[in-house]
């Protein structure tokens, strides 16, 4: 998988995408993450990438010119399966979308800023718009990091235990069961007996029941849709 992220704040990505599982995925060569500074594609002396909105009103808008320049350049280098714009009015991101996107290879993710991007970019370049929730962030960077994380961990070989992603919440339309680790007795709070029994079949049954219970309680809509 390859993800090209376009942003005016490339530094943000040094943190979240360079730790732990995501870092190892890149080191193992399973994933290529390339962060591009939109300002490098500005044609103005002051590396300007935003301008006032036509018609007036507060807030700057990211300009078409540098965005077209970088995306058109990237498209000459490889074929992209999706050119994504992070946007609060986009399709709501969930595990189903993550699963289906994870089967594809190459992505561009454009992060908006200020008031957003010139509408012509959205109309003529973008193939998919994704929101991570009904709230407004100050930029698309954190949202792009969320989507990248969710996709990368689904790439085969990224998680050390191959089945691990399959037992996470939402994968089978169920919430994950509770988990415990040592010690067995922590200040009188005990681990459920069944998990210490070594009886795999019974443990799996218990986990399934717990998942069902949790789904009914915490995500009743998900349970009803099943
Ligand atoms: N004026 C826009 C909001 C701009 S917020 C509006 O009202 O819809 C600035 C940028 O942050 C957006 O361009 C988008 O890239 C990103 N962003 C904000 N909230 C987001 C969300 N919930 N999901 C994905 N991206 C978001």
Residues of the chain with CATH 1.10.1270.20: 167-225
Q: Is the CB of 132 under 6 A from ligand 1?
A: yes
| pTM, two decimal places | 0.95
Q: What is the mean pLDDT of residues 15-44?
A: 95
What architecture is the 167-225 domain classified under in CATH? Orthogonal Bundle (1.10)
Taking phi over 0 as left and psi of -120 to 50 as alpha, with beta for the rest, 47 belongs to: left
Q: Is the CB of 113 under 6 A from ligand 1?
A: yes
Q: Out of 53, 57, 84, 87, give the residue to mutate to test ligand 1, the one with the largest number of ligand atoms within 8 Å of its CB.
A: 87
Side-chain-side CA neighbours of 201 within 13 Å: the count stands at: 0
User: What is the per-residue pLDDT across 39-60, written as a single tens digit (0 to 9) for each?
Assistant: 999 999 999 999 999 999 999 9
Report the atom number in ligand 1 closest to the C-alpha of 59: 1
Q: Is the CB of 86 under 6 A from ligand 1?
A: yes
Give 140 Cα–ligand 1 centroid separation in angstroms: 6
Q: How far is CA 225 from CA 115, 135, 213, in A?
A: 36, 25, 15
* DSSP three-state, residue 218: helix
- The pLDDT value given to residue 162: 60
Side-chain-side CA neighbours of 29 within 13 Å: the count stands at: 0
Kindly report the CATH number that applies to the domain delimited by 2-152. Answer: 3.40.1280.10
Q: Is the CB of 136 under 6 A from ligand 1?
A: yes
């Amino acid at each position: 998988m390859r993800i090209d992220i376009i942003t005016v704040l490339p530094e943000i990505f040094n943190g979240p995408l360079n730790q732990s599982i995501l870092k190892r995925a890149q080191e193992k060569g399973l994933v290529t993450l390339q962060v591009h500074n939109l300002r490098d594609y500005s044609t103005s002396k002051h590396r300007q990438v935003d301008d006032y909105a036509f018609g007036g009103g507060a807030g700057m808008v990211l300009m078409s010119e540098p965005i077209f320049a970088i995306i058109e350049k990237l498209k000459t280098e490889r074929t992209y399966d999706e050119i994504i714009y992070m946007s609060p009015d986009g399709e709501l991101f969930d595990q189903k979308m993550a699963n289906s996107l994870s089967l594809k290879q190459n992505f561009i993710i454009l992060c908006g800023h200020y008031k957003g991007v010139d509408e012509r970019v959205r109309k003529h370049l973008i193939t998919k718009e994704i929101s991570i929730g009904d709230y407004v962030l100050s930029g698309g960077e954190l949202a792009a990091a969320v989507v990248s994380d969710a996709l990368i961990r689904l790439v085969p070989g990224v998680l050390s235990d191959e089945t691990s992603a399959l037992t996470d919440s939402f994968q089978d339309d169920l919430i994950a069961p509770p988990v415990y680790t040592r010690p067995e007795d922590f200040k009188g709070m005990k681990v459920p007996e069944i998990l210490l029994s070594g009886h795999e079949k019974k443990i799996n049954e218990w986990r399934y029941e717990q998942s069902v219970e949790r789904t009914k309680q915490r995500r009743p809509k998900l349970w009803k849709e099943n």
